[in-house]
């Protein structure tokens, strides 16, 4: 919501695969009881489905910025293929981003943090800036980040710039 207000000139697409997440977003956006009919901010679109399905349908070089804030970490090794940062996802993300566009990601989960460093350190589609340990200016605070900070965990914030 902070991004929607801060960037009225940009069109944002919010992706959330679970109905509860969409309901919680809508409750922040529209009056109680008007979730099905209330108008959304004009610069916001909702994708109430898997973000990977949307990415596969977007044209090449159509996105200026992508946020992946505190994705589900899937800490068990046997679930690693479900992680959004994954070697199998990189070409898809790179295809939809404009050259030089930023992919911003954050995680508080130590397993995921190491995984991100490994995966992004072994690819050439993105330039990887050193991780920050405090949220950079202009990034949105999130509910999950607040929860992580309250629990004493240290998030890492990465910027990956689309090469090319």
Q: Which residues bind ligand SAM (CB under 6 A)?
A: 15-18, 21, 50-52, 69-72, 142-145
49 is catalytic: no
Identify the DSSP state of 91.
H
Rounded least distance, CB 104 to ligand SAM, Å: 12
Rounded least distance, CB 95 to ligand SAM, Å: 17
List the one residue out of 152, 158, 153 whose CA is nearest residue 68: 158
- Measured from the CB atom, is 17 or 26 closer to ligand SAM? 17
Q: Are 114 and 80 in contact (CB under 8 A)?
A: no
List the one residue out of 102, 47, 48, 107 whose CA is nearest residue 72: 107
Of 50, 60, 72, 108, the active-site residue reads 72
Rounded least distance, CB 68 to ligand SAM, Å: 8
- Measured from the CB atom, is 4 or 15 closer to ligand SAM? 15
SS3 12: strand
- Measured from the CB atom, is 102 or 145 closer to ligand SAM? 145
Q: Are 106 and 145 in contact (CB under 8 A)?
A: yes
Residues designated catalytic: 72
């Amino acid at each position: 919501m902070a991004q929607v207000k801060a960037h009225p000139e940009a069109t944002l697409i919010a992706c959330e695969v679970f109905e509860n997440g969409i309901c919680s977003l809508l409750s922040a956006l529209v009056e109680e009881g008007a979730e099905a009919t209330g108008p959304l901010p004009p610069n916001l679109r909702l994708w109430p489905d898997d973000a990977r399905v949307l990415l596969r349908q977007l044209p090449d070089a159509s996105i200026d910025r992508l946020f992946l804030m505190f994705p589900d970490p899937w800490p068990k090794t046997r679930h690693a293929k479900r992680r959004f940062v994954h070697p199998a996802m990189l070409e898809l993300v790179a295809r939809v981003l404009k050259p030089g566009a930023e992919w911003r990601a954050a995680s508080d989960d130590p397993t995921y943090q190491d995984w991100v460093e490994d995966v992004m350190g072994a690819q050439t589609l993105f330039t990887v800036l050193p991780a920050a340990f405090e949220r950079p200016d202009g990034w949105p605070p999130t509910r999950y980040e607040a929860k992580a900070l309250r629990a004493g965990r240290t998030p890492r914030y990465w910027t990956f710039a689309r090469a090319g």
